[in-house]
């Protein structure tokens, strides 16, 4: 379980400090994604996992495997959202690199 950001939500100072921690934490996450996307190797790595997660195909199988595939797809969609937030042009660079490798 994650630790609470504040001791009490009624303390405006604690709330402000917690908001800053969240903001800076998210900025660090996006900087990490930007660093990965800054290289061709990073683009290939990210594309490989986005593809493996099945973000562009249905996860419906008619069996309980659907739940597994949908969990995988959810992670892929989160990765894609991070990519798009960190570097909106990266998706197109990934597509371009993938086409070059075919």
Chain segment 14-69, per-residue pLDDT in tens: 667 676 676 778 899 999 999 999 999 999 999 999 999 999 999 999 999 999 99
Q: How many CB atoms lie within 10 A of CB 29?
A: 13
Question: Can you give the pLDDT at residue 54?
Answer: 95
Question: Can you give the pLDDT at residue 91?
Answer: 95
Provide the CA 80 distance to its chain's centre, in angstroms. 5
Q: If you average pLDDT over residues 86-102, what whole number do you get? A: 90
Evaluate if residue 7 carries a pLDDT over 70: no
Q: If you average pLDDT over residues 74-102, what whole number do you get? A: 92
Provide the CA 95 distance to its chain's centre, in angstroms. 17
Structure tokens at 52: 């493996």
Task: Tell me the HSE value of 76 on the side-chain side, using a 13 A CA sphere.
Answer: 20
């Amino acid at each position: 379980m994650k630790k609470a950001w504040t001791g009490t939500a009624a303390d405006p100072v604690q709330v402000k400090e917690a908001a800053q921690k969240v903001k800076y934490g998210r900025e660090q996450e996006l900087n990490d994604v930007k660093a990965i996307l800054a290289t061709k190797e990073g683009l290939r790595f990210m594309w490989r996992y986005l593809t493996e997660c099945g973000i562009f195909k249905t996860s419906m199988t008619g069996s309980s495997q659907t739940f597994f595939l949908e969990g995988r797809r959810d992670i892929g969609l989160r990765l894609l959202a991070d990519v798009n937030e960190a570097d909106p042009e990266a998706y197109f660079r990934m597509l371009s690199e993938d086409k070059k490798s075919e």
